[in-house]
Copies of this chain bind each other. A is one copy, B any other.
Amino acid sequence: MFRPLLTLTGGLIAALAVTAAQAKPLSPEDLSVAEVLRDRALESSDAYSIVESLTVEVGPRPAGSEGDRRAVAWAQQKMKALGFDRVYTEQIEVPRWNRGHAHARVVAPFPQPLVVTSLGYSVGTPQGGITAEIVEFADVEALIKAPARKVKGKIAFINKRMERARTGEGYGPAVGGRSKGMRAAAEKGAAALMIRSVGTDSDRFAHTGMMSIDGVENPVPALALSAPDANLLEAMLKRGKPVEVQLDVHNQRLEDGPSFNVIGEITGREKPQEVMIIGAHLDSWDEGTGALDDGAGVAVVMEAARMIAELPQRPRRTLRVVLFGAEEIGLVGAKQYVDAHRSELDNIVAVSESDFGAGKIWRFDTRLPENKFDIADQMMQLLAPLGIERGNNKSSGGPDSSVFVAQGVPAFGLYQDGSDYFDYHHTPNDTLDKVDADTLKQNVAAWVVMSFLAVEMEGDLGRVPTEH
């Protein structure tokens, strides 16, 4: 399923052997190798086959589930087949939950069914379901400010729309209803929470996702409505009569159980203890096949590492691909990774994650000490021809990477076009057909440039002061 081994010309092999003492952190020879890797990636990288394999042979893989277990086995097998030097897992402990059914229907004044989905780790309704009146709020802040008497016994409906943007910046202002709404509703004695899905589509898919549940004393069922269904409730409410909705929700909270971070390494030839981590997350939500979130990311970082593994010699440092477990339910795998490896964090020269779908990369962000910008400038020489512009120095490196960044680890961020990412995010519609094979090649090209240069460079990137 994969291309023949990448081979370099004699001249470049010779160049690799030369260690020129340069003022700049990256030698012309390093840049030449990276350029060859980049152009090969555009021609012949095949990340698409990896995400195809994951979605077809594994599919949904929520943390701690059977699918997750199969994904962990798949990832180890695939990394071995791709030629990684070391492949291993590190166990983590995850809270587990099974989605049951979620049925909702308006019973008055205009009876009709609604398309909903439970938010992650929602409780169910009591046997026989509940029926209650809807009370609408513009956003989670309005719910938090509302007096309890307005909410008590009712279904709080947060009707906040998300704006579409290439950067995905509409997500932050909209996601509060999902993350904090249930807590606020429960504290005020609501019967349940319903939110307009945090998404940019106008399709009949509800978007699931995690919410804050720790310490909520009397949690209530929490559901997302598809955008057309939120429109429907809104239109009914505008007609001025009380709107009553019946909910019948069944979910199951399970005992905590094991999952795994799956790790594959290309071992460094000179400084094997110094490591660049490139990551993605292996878990997905349960309703789609996790093609965009985050099968594409898994594929891009694995394929970039595979190309580096095929060079005639190992890079100076170790390239470590970490496929994090349980990202969707709160960066669980990344947090446990950092906890378990706290004493070794100084050896992680940089971290970066691909977890924003399968769109074209258009911007290169960093989080570097100010005296290390020259390496980013050199990387940009090879990234710019891919249509990538230089961004800012505030990158989190991606969701899981942010846990490392909080400890001062430098980060790189290859920012994808996320214009349509939130059309599919956390829905059943996150499937392989949304992934474009050619765009993935551009992604691999950028990742292989960045990864190779970070593991091959002279010197290191220091630490970045953390904000407190």
User: Does A59 sit within 8 A of B, measured CB to CB?
Assistant: yes
Which B residues are CB-close (under 8 A) to A60? 112-113
Q: Contact flags (1/0) for A105-123 with B, using CB distance below 8 Å?
A: 0000011110100000000
Which B residues are CB-close (under 8 A) to A52? 235
Copies of this chain, whole number: 2
- Stretch from A17-25, A202-210, A250-258 at the B interface: A202-210
Tell me the residues in window 233-281 of chain A with beta carbons closer than 8 Å to chain B beta carbons. 235-236, 239
Complex: A55 Cα to B456 Cα, angstroms: 62
Complex: A58 Cα to B112 Cα, angstroms: 7
Complex: A433 Cα to B434 Cα, angstroms: 22
User: Does A227 sit within 8 A of B, measured CB to CB?
Assistant: yes
Query: Considering residues A57, A111, A433, which has the most beta carbons from chain B within 10 angstroms of its beta carbon?
Result: A433
Which B residues are CB-close (under 8 A) to A202? 433-434
Shortest Cβ distance from A115 into B: residue: B428
User: Does A431 sit within 8 A of B, measured CB to CB?
Assistant: yes
A204-B205, A235-B52, A236-B56 are contacts. A431–B228 as well, Cβ < 8 Å? yes
User: Does A289 sit within 8 A of B, measured CB to CB?
Assistant: yes
User: Does A66 sit within 8 A of B, measured CB to CB?
Assistant: yes
A67-B112, A288-B204, A433-B202 are contacts. A56–B428 as well, Cβ < 8 Å? no
Shortest Cβ distance from A235 into B: residue: B56
CB distance from A420 to the nearest CB of B (A): 12
A203-B203, A288-B204 are contacts. A112–B431 as well, Cβ < 8 Å? no
Q: Contact flags (1/0) for A35-67 with B, using CB distance below 8 Å?
A: 000000000000000001001111110000011
User: Does A375 sit within 8 A of B, measured CB to CB?
Assistant: no
Which B residues are CB-close (under 8 A) to A203? 203, 205, 429
Which B residues are CB-close (under 8 A) to A354? none
Q: Contact flags (1/0) for A431-455 with B, using CB distance below 8 Å?
A: 1111000000000000000000000
Query: Considering residues A52, A66, A202, A203, which has the most beta carbons from chain B within 10 angstroms of its beta carbon?
Result: A203
Which residue in B56, B110, B204, B427 is a CB contact (below 8 Å) of A59?
Answer: B110
User: Does A311 sit within 8 A of B, measured CB to CB?
Assistant: no
Shortest Cβ distance from A101 into B: residue: B101
Complex: A434 Cα to B70 Cα, angstroms: 39
User: Does A232 sit within 8 A of B, measured CB to CB?
Assistant: yes
19 extra A-B contacts, CB within 8 A, seeds A60-B113, A228-B431: A52-B235, A56-B110, A56-B232, A56-B235, A56-B239, A58-B110, A59-B111, A59-B113, A67-B112, A115-B428, A203-B205, A203-B429, A204-B205, A204-B288, A204-B427, A204-B431, A227-B433, A228-B289, A231-B433
Give 4 nearest A-B pairs by CB, closest first.
A59-B112, A228-B431, A204-B429, A204-B428
The 23 sampled A-B contact pairs (Cβ below 8 Å) are A52-B235, A56-B235, A56-B239, A59-B113, A59-B232, A60-B113, A66-B111, A67-B111, A202-B433, A203-B203, A203-B205, A203-B429, A204-B205, A204-B428, A204-B429, A204-B431, A227-B433, A228-B429, A228-B432, A228-B433, A231-B432, A231-B433, A232-B289
Query: Which residues of A are interface residues toward B (Cβ below 8 A)?
Result: 52, 55-60, 66-67, 70, 110-113, 115, 202-205, 227-228, 231-232, 235-236, 239, 288-289, 427-429, 431-434
